[in-house]
Structure 1
């Protein structure tokens, strides 16, 4: 297990593949840890340096008292990449990970040369919606919202699989303070203006059955970046890298090659 001490926050991460290869960095969603990408990684081209991490309050990364600001979460990833001496990475962010990716690309163009915004938005939901979710989690734990979240995360057929129960367990076992803290960060974020100023290769990926960040939201967000591309994975919900890792890896590999990143 690798831990980086970033200004007193111990961040859990993995650093795999070719240490001298171009960096491919993954930022995962609210309520998941870096295992989100497990099924995709074996399907990607050789020669990449692949970095994953658990964001603040998730997985094996330390939990700090909430609420969190999006700028704090962006600074955490910035600090990790500086710690690992990464420059010019291809950054893949899903859900809140996609918001962190937008924020980092705006702040540090030296770190990000290309970006995948997966199942995310420049703004997700409303402050009232997030306030209600945070209050419900604090009153009844993540378990109180788990079934509703699973409906948004996965298509109906996936609910009948054994794997579905593993992902539900992952969700409810995340630290409550981390989940609530990151929810507050999403609530306070509107990246429409800063993201519209980005000029870099960018790809949007959406799931046709996504109840959290519907395809229209993903398309609207990625269209803010001139020259960007958009891909829809049919039959998948909010986590298409879990439901359909083959299509996800195919789309990601195409973007990696199109941008000359391998």
Structure 2
């Protein structure tokens, strides 16, 4: 398990080396999860494509520290700089999609294209995030885990994969509450409307018709901001296509990857 302390925190990451002559794919995960949510996608990508994933601060095996969105973005950039990755295809889901948008705006040298999955330029509002933070502080994640899981996954996934549902619920519950709360606040305080509207690079946007966290209309609004972006809405899929339909997500990644200049 590789770790790096680029600045003030230890970050856990995984990098499949692939062929260093090929463009890398960088995957940024969602709130309350760790880098393992991408396993099914990575397994379906050609072995010669380098792939980087990491645990955000406050998640997985990375340090729990105070964090804002700029720090999450900088951490991803630091890992890419450390590994010598440039001109990559960045795919982020949920808050990972915010990190991807911010990375493209602040470090365009690192980003050749974006796949923005189940995300938006602004997610939710201050009242909603403050209420969630207050509940986690009062009840812990256990008190709202079932509600979160219903927002993450489609009813069909729960019915067909009850053991997986339980396992991902365990992943959520093992997220340190301070790390979860800090990233909630980072999302609350982020509005990338202006910088995302200014992006000029190939972008694929992905929504899930059963996503209760970032509904299709929200993702469509982001897609309409970005000149030339394409939108795919996946039928009967929830907030985490990387888990529910990894083959479909891998195909969409490779489609854009193959079209990058």
TM, length-normalised to structure 1: 0.96
Contact 1:12 1:61 in 2 (8 A): yes
Say how many residue pairs are matched: 258
In the alignment, structure 1 segments of 5+ residues that lack a partner are none
Alpha-carbon displacement from aligned partner over 1:157-192 (angstroms, at most 9, x marks no partner)? 222321110011100111111100000000001111
Measured in 2, the distance between the counterparts of 1:9 and 1:157 equals: 39
Contact 1:45 1:253 in 2 (8 A): no
Alpha-carbon displacement from aligned partner over 1:5-50 (angstroms, at most 9, x marks no partner)? 1112110001104140211000000000000111111111342110
1:210-229 aligned within 5 A: 210-229=211-230
Contact 1:23 1:49 in 2 (8 A): yes
1:63 aligns with 2:64: yes
Measured in 1, the distance between the counterparts of 2:204 and 2:224 equals: 9
Measured in 2, the distance between the counterparts of 1:253 and 1:79 equals: 25
1:25 alignment counterpart: 26
1:1-262 aligned within 5 A: 1-20=1-20, 21-64=22-65, 66=66, 68-160=67-159, 161=161, 162-259=163-260
Measured in 2, the distance between the counterparts of 1:83 and 1:246 equals: 29
- SS of equivalent to 1:149: helix
In the alignment, structure 2 segments of 5+ residues that lack a partner are none
Residue 112 (structure 1) shift: 0.6
Q: Post-superposition, which runs of at least 4 consecutive aligned residues in structure 1 deviate over 3 A?
A: none
Contact 1:123 1:189 in 2 (8 A): yes
Alpha-carbon displacement from aligned partner over 1:194-219 (angstroms, at most 9, x marks no partner)? 10001001000111100000111111
**Cα root mean square deviation, aligned:** 1.1
Contact 1:3 1:11 in 2 (8 A): yes
- SS of equivalent to 1:6: coil
Measured in 2, the distance between the counterparts of 1:17 and 1:44 equals: 13
Residue 222 (structure 1) shift: 2.1
- SS of equivalent to 2:4: strand
Contact 2:112 2:260 in 1 (8 A): no
Contact 1:204 1:222 in 2 (8 A): yes
Measured in 2, the distance between the counterparts of 1:223 and 1:4 equals: 37
Contact 2:121 2:193 in 1 (8 A): yes
- SS of equivalent to 2:225: coil
- SS of equivalent to 2:200: coil
